[in-house]
Amino acid sequence: METIQIDLPGHDYQYSVLVGNKILASALEKILSGYSNSKIFLITNDTIQKLYHEMIDTLFMNRANVKMKVLPDGEKYKNQDTVNSIHDFLAVEKANRGSILISLGGGVLGDMVGFAAATFMRGIAYIQIPTTLLSQVDSSVGGKTGINHSAGKNLLNNRCRLLLM
């Protein structure tokens, strides 16, 4: 596993990208070890849940402090209503500033969950696990997040506090 440090020009902000082959379990353990008392919230979509159900069970659902929300898949759900449903989930499950929000999915999901992380309680920690090549090079780099508005694509956006990509 190799760690690459990213510095954003013009911003007092940096984060690490972990790169390697078959590193997800060890990378998650490395990062989550410092958050053993934190509530962890996993957000995925119905397509990813079906494809990765064994990995989800192995890596996440055996932890007592993990709650999962499954969203519908598709660009048409990249909107404020879906983000509100994530905020509602976090509020009902009593997320706090020490909680971690994890996105497991492609770019649409990463953008929405990152936006929710950036806007819930003025920002909570966020881990993005991109599952498509496009999301690995687009939505997961730089911490940019966004959701669509009726007037246009990605009109509502923010930066999130990333822990892992």
Mind listing the pLDDT tens digit for each residue in 91-146?
999 999 999 999 999 888 988 898 899 889 988 998 888 888 877 777 656 556 77
Q: What is the pLDDT of residue 165?
A: 45
Give strand pairing partners of 68: 42
Does residue 30 belong to any structural domain of this protein? no
Does residue 28 belong to any structural domain of this protein? no
Amino acid at 10: G
Does residue 41 belong to any structural domain of this protein? yes
- DSSP code per residue over the chain: -EEEEEE-TTSS-EEEEEE-SS-HHHHHHHHHGGGTTS-EEEEEEHHHHHHTHHHHIIIIITSTTEEEEEEPPSGGG-SHHHHHHHHHHHHHTT--TT-EEEEEESHHHHHHHHHHHHHGGG--EEEEEE-SHHHHHTTTSTTEEEEEETTEEEEEEEE--EEE-
pTM value?
0.82
Mean pLDDT of the chain, nearest integer: 84
Does residue 140 belong to any structural domain of this protein? yes
Does residue 7 belong to any structural domain of this protein? no
Does residue 160 surpass a pLDDT of 60?
A: no
pLDDT: which is higher, 28 or 82: 82
Does residue 85 belong to any structural domain of this protein? yes
Of the chain, the percentage scoring pLDDT greater than 70 comes to: 84
Spatial CA neighbour of 59 closest among 28, 38, 103, 93: 28
Does residue 23 belong to any structural domain of this protein? no
Does residue 32 belong to any structural domain of this protein? no
Q: Domain containing 145 — which CATH number? A: 3.40.50.1970
The pairing of beta strand 162-164 with beta strand 40-45: unpaired
State the residue range of the domain holding 124: 37-164
Domain count, the chain: 1
